[in-house]
Amino acid sequence: MKNDFIPSAPLTINWAVTNRCNFRCKHCYSRVDVAEELDFEVLCTVIKKMSAAKVFSVNFGGGEPLLKKDIPGLTKFAVDLGLAVSMNSNGFLITKDMALRLKQAGFGKVGISIDSPKHEVHDRFRGVKGSHGRALAALGYLKEAGIVTSISSVICKINIDDIDGLIEMARSAGVSNINFHNFKCSGLGFANKDVLDLSPEEWHDFYTRAIALKETVEDLQISLEDPIIALFGHKNGPSLVKGSVCGKLSLNIKSNGDITPCGFIPIVIGNICRDDLLEIWNNSPVLNMMRNKVPKGKCLSCESYTECLGGCTARTLALTGDMNNPDPHCWKK
């Protein structure tokens, strides 16, 4: 199924600037990844390439991006070239002073990972005692500094019964947005999938509840980035593409400069230091396959396929070995 509209360059680039981390998360996809990192001058060259390709925004991740030296300096460099910069952090290193530095550097948005309203549940999942309190404090400092904040929660067994609690926590923290991320079976997420991932029926029930909340909660934006919500006839927001956005609107860069379609698909399609970004974007055979998926199995006769395009490509590839297979989270019989 062909997507009608593939922009001439990625809109967003997710960039794991480091795979080092001060946490020990049970679902981590990057701790087992490459250790090599680019130095500041090379990072700036990469930013220039993104700007020249008219990429809108870059989102730093990792690992914990604040373990990378001079993220504020790199951010300022990117903002001066017209890029919007955001970051996903665990919040542990964000003090009042760091929040001000991030604001001065030009960060528009910072997302903090919090997976449960219960501090003991979050701390156990993230592997660091006190991390819940530090994450909430970080949100306060960022807000005070004038940075738009969001909470990212990975939905899995540990929090599936506490969705209302997560929303209440987000409201009281004053964030603009809570992102409910679907559980990805990459890295340790794959190793721990049997104890953390939900069944298709549980995903159905979660999304039924989450969509109802999204439509009724007015003072908080709830984001559900999973393409299988198209099975409800629901879209997360106006988007120009159907199915997964990875490789259609966004790309991922690893700490050593390798380019992958998304952070959860370990197929290297080039290297940002060595290759031409637009050449990869326009001609990568892997991206071409992702943009032109061919339905298989139950997708062949499913009336929702034209909207969901087989669901999350990363998850399907990780669990079945073939991106064209039906999404393993799909509850349709």
Partner 1 sequence: MKIFRNPDAMWREEDRFREQAYSGLDKGEDVSDTGTSIVLYSGKMFSFNLLGTEIWKLCDGKSVEDIVSELRESFEVEEEALRKDVNAFLESLKKEGLIYEK
By the criterion CB under 8 A, which residues form the site for partner 1?
A: 5, 7-8, 11, 54, 56-57, 84, 177, 221, 223, 237-240
CB of residue 278 vs partner 1: minimum separation in angstroms? 11
- Nearer residue to partner 1 within complex by CB, 148 or 160: 148
- Nearer residue to partner 1 within complex by CB, 177 or 271: 177
Residue 16, Cβ neighbours under 10 Å: how many?
A: 26
- Nearer residue to partner 1 within complex by CB, 239 or 271: 239
- Nearer residue to partner 1 within complex by CB, 223 or 304: 223
CA distance 65 to 101: 14
Contact assessment for residue 156 and residue 183, using Cβ atoms and an 8 Å cutoff: yes
CB of residue 130 vs partner 1: minimum separation in angstroms? 32
Q: List residues bridging with 224 in a β-sheet.
A: 180
CB of residue 51 vs partner 1: minimum separation in angstroms? 11
- Nearer residue to partner 1 within complex by CB, 267 or 278: 278
194 sits in which H/E element: helix 193-196
CB of residue 244 vs partner 1: minimum separation in angstroms? 15
- Nearer residue to partner 1 within complex by CB, 8 or 301: 8
Spatial strand order of the sheet with 109-113 comes to 221-224, 177-182, 148-155, 109-113, 84-89, 57-61, 12-16, 250-253, 258-260, 270-271
CB of residue 37 vs partner 1: minimum separation in angstroms? 28
CB of residue 260 vs partner 1: minimum separation in angstroms? 23
CA distance 274 to 271: 5
Residues 6 or more apart in contact with residue 136 via CB below 8 angstroms: 91, 114, 169, 173
- φ/ψ of 157, rounded to 5, equals -60, -30
Give me the helix-helix angle, 131-145 and 163-173, nearest 10°.
40
